[in-house]
Amino acid sequence: MTTMMVTRYMKIKLQFCQRLHTWNHLRKHYTTKSGDLVFVSLSNDIFMNLAFEDWLYENENLKTKSILLMWKNNPTVVIGRHQNPYLECDVWKIAKNNLSLARRKSGGGAVYHDEGNLNCSFIKDRSLYNRYRNLDLVVEALSSRWNIDLSINTREDILLDGFYKVSGTASKLGRNTTITISPLYLIPMSMVGVHSRATQSLKSRVKNLSDSIPGVTYDSLVDVIGHQFLKGKKNMDNFQFINPSEAQFPGLQKIYNELCDWEWIYGRTPNFSLTRHFAKNLEYYIEHQITINVNIEKGRISKIDIETNFNEIYLKIRPLIQEHLIGTRFWFNDLQMSLDTIKQESRHFGEIELHSWIVSCLSKILCV
């Protein structure tokens, strides 16, 4: 072994030992307390809170403890792992208003989060998985402090006065660990002709707890639910307020970056298609008809089929449509840019009114 190779080996070994020392020090500070833990995140960033939840799920030894993570976010729409965001909310409106849209790693439906919304993540060993028991803990906690009528229905939602939904659930089951999320408390895009197998949310009549508990606050809910989770435990001091960071939890930033990525939020959308028919009287009052079918796979347009009663003229613009839309991300700015290019370049073929109408039909089916 050469001197250079030995030096490199010693350097790598030293870096590994330093990381291991830091890792052990951090884990000793945060996770070696015996008994169950309650973490309350001080971050209002949806992506950081979801990343911290996933970090705990992947790294904690849940054979020896269960964890309750509580958190709230700035205004955000959160969808389930297997959902189509375009069917659950007005994606373009969210983007234009600088709101966040996040995709959980767990299943379940779409929910709206803001700072008046408490999220409870029960992170446990797989052998302890019981969604009803987690919800019952929340019901017992709230009922112990306030005189309200809460119950759990067959869909495992928490109902107020037997009718109004105040919390739902979503779960992620691993080989050895589980997460059950209970958000205590959407307007979809007006897309026509959508065909999708994605999991769609069920609309429910909802109500805020503050309507029945005047003066209730986020802090009071955190307090009562957190102590109910630790009830009967010897270590009631295992109640930690924490601002998650990479320095505290190595690997957290990587998870955060993955959850923020367009490919995760939109690229993971289950395949779907759009189909619409259009008709319009143009030159010489002749009715022109067009049927457009668009397939979207992994968040990108994969195929466009167009049928018309004026094929000879359409065939001139068809190559432009295929060239500029196939492979394009199903995203407002990308789609608008492609349509503008098609409209501009199609002017060279004449039939400007007809080609402009075709582009207009494409714009409508793509909701741009």
Instruction: Say which CATH number the domain at 299 has.
Output: 3.30.390
Q: Which residue has the higher pLDDT, 238 or 83?
A: 83
Regarding whether 139 and 202 lie in a shared domain, the answer is yes
Of 206, 230, 265, which residue sits at a domain end? 265
> How far, in Å, CA of 108 to CA of 280, rounded?
42
**The whole model's pTM is what?**
0.80
Q: What is the CATH number for 259?
A: 3.30.930.10
Regarding whether 310 and 242 lie in a shared domain, the answer is no
Regarding whether 286 and 168 lie in a shared domain, the answer is no
Tell me, yes or no, whether 309 lies in a domain. Answer: yes
Would you state the pLDDT for residue 100? 92
Regarding whether 258 and 187 lie in a shared domain, the answer is yes
Regarding whether 276 and 147 lie in a shared domain, the answer is no
Q: Distances in Å between the alpha carbon of 18 and those of 5, 13, 21, 22? A: 20, 9, 5, 6
Tens digit of each residue's pLDDT (9 = 90 or more) over 341-350: 999 998 887 7
Regarding whether 237 and 120 lie in a shared domain, the answer is yes
Closest CA to 325 of 346, 310, 340: 340
Q: Which of 59-68, 253-262, 324-333 has the lowest mean pLDDT?
A: 59-68
Decide: helix, strand or coil at residue 37: strand
Residues near 335 by Cβ (< 8 Å), separated by ≥ 6?
325, 328, 329, 366, 368
The label of the residue with tokens 């919800």 reads 135
DSSP 4-56: HHHHHHHHHHHHHHHHHHHHHHHHHHHH-SSS-EEEEE----HHHHHHHHHHH
> How far, in Å, CA of 108 to CA of 76, rounded?
16
Average pLDDT over residues 160-170: 76
Number of domains present in the structure of the chain:
2
Q: Which tokens is 191 given?
A: 């897309």
> How far, in Å, CA of 16 to CA of 330, rounded?
43
Tell me, yes or no, whether 348 lies in a domain. Answer: yes
Regarding whether 151 and 100 lie in a shared domain, the answer is yes
Closest CA to 47 of 83, 87, 77: 77
- The alpha carbon of residue 80 and the mean position of all alpha carbons in its chain are separated, in whole angstroms, by 6
Range of the domain at 285: 272-365
Would you state the pLDDT for residue 157? 82
Confidence of residue 152 (pLDDT cuts 50, 70, 90): confident
Tell me, yes or no, whether 20 lies in a domain. Answer: no
Tell me, yes or no, whether 282 lies in a domain. Answer: yes
Regarding whether 301 and 167 lie in a shared domain, the answer is no
Tell me, yes or no, whether 8 lies in a domain. Answer: no
Regarding beta strands 158-160 and 150-152, do their DSSP bridges make them parallel or antiparallel, or are they unpaired? Answer: antiparallel
Would you state the pLDDT for residue 16? 44
Regarding whether 283 and 177 lie in a shared domain, the answer is no
Of 265, 285, 308, which residue sits at a domain end? 265
Alpha helices in 32-158, H assignment, sequence order: 46-59, 85-88, 91-96, 131-145
> How far, in Å, CA of 343 to CA of 318, rounded?
12
Q: With 50 as the cut, is the pLDDT of residue 20 above it? A: no
Of 208, 236, 265, which residue sits at a domain end? 265
Regarding whether 308 and 349 lie in a shared domain, the answer is yes
Tell me, yes or no, whether 19 lies in a domain. Answer: no
> How far, in Å, CA of 202 to CA of 242, rounded?
34
Cα Rg for the chain, rounded, in angstroms?
Answer: 26
Residues near 298 by Cβ (< 8 Å), separated by ≥ 6?
267, 268, 269, 271
Q: Which of 95-104, 191-200, 251-260 has the lowest mean pLDDT?
A: 191-200
Confidence of residue 112 (pLDDT cuts 50, 70, 90): confident
Would you state the pLDDT for residue 208? 75
Regarding whether 260 and 294 lie in a shared domain, the answer is no
Q: With 90 as the cut, is the pLDDT of residue 178 above it? A: no
Regarding whether 243 and 114 lie in a shared domain, the answer is yes
Q: With 70 as the cut, is the pLDDT of residue 14 above it? A: no
Tell me, yes or no, whether 125 lies in a domain. Answer: yes
